């Protein structure tokens, strides 16, 4: 799925469609599980495959969210860090 997506030039902000937002929520939950597993691994044995799995799953969820946007024709919102700073306030 990633091969057919345009290259990223910035971070992608969640949203645009409900499906995209839900996939980003799933990714957030997966990343939280990964961080908790890393913390657990510091205190006891954790199979390294579990960490690899969670990391790859969060990557897959990110690609799926981008793919879903492409398939539904929903434009991605890219993070433009300098855009807000360059806008003039009224």
Quick: pLDDT tens for 21-45: 999 999 999 999 999 999 999 999 9
Q: What is the pLDDT of residue 77?
A: 83
Q: What is the pLDDT of residue 86?
A: 57
Q: What is the pLDDT of residue 2?
A: 86
| Low-confidence residues in the chain, pLDDT < 50 | none
What region does 89 belong to: left with phi over 0, alpha with psi -120 to 50, or beta? beta
Residues 14-52, buried b or exposed e (16+ Cβ, 10 A)?
A: bebeeebeebbebbeebbebbeebeeeeeeeeeeeeebe
This prediction has a pTM of 0.81
Q: What is the pLDDT of residue 28?
A: 96
Judge contact between 18 and 84, C-beta under 8 A. Answer: no
Judge contact between 77 and 12, C-beta under 8 A. Answer: yes
3-state secondary structure of 1: coil
Q: What is the pLDDT of residue 7?
A: 87
Q: What is the pLDDT of residue 44?
A: 97
Q: What is the pLDDT of residue 13?
A: 83
Residues written for the chain = 90
């Amino acid at each position: 799925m990633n091969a057919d997506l345009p290259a990223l030039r910035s971070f992608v902000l969640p949203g645009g469609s409900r499906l995209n937002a839900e996939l980003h929520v799933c990714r957030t939950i997966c990343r939280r599980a990964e961080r908790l597993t890393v913390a657990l691994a510091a205190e006891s044995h954790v199979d390294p495959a579990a960490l690899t799995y969670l990391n790859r799953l969060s990557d897959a969820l990110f690609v799926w969210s981008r793919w879903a946007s492409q398939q539904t024709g929903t434009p991605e919102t890219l993070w433009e860090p300098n855009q807000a700073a360059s806008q003039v306030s009224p």
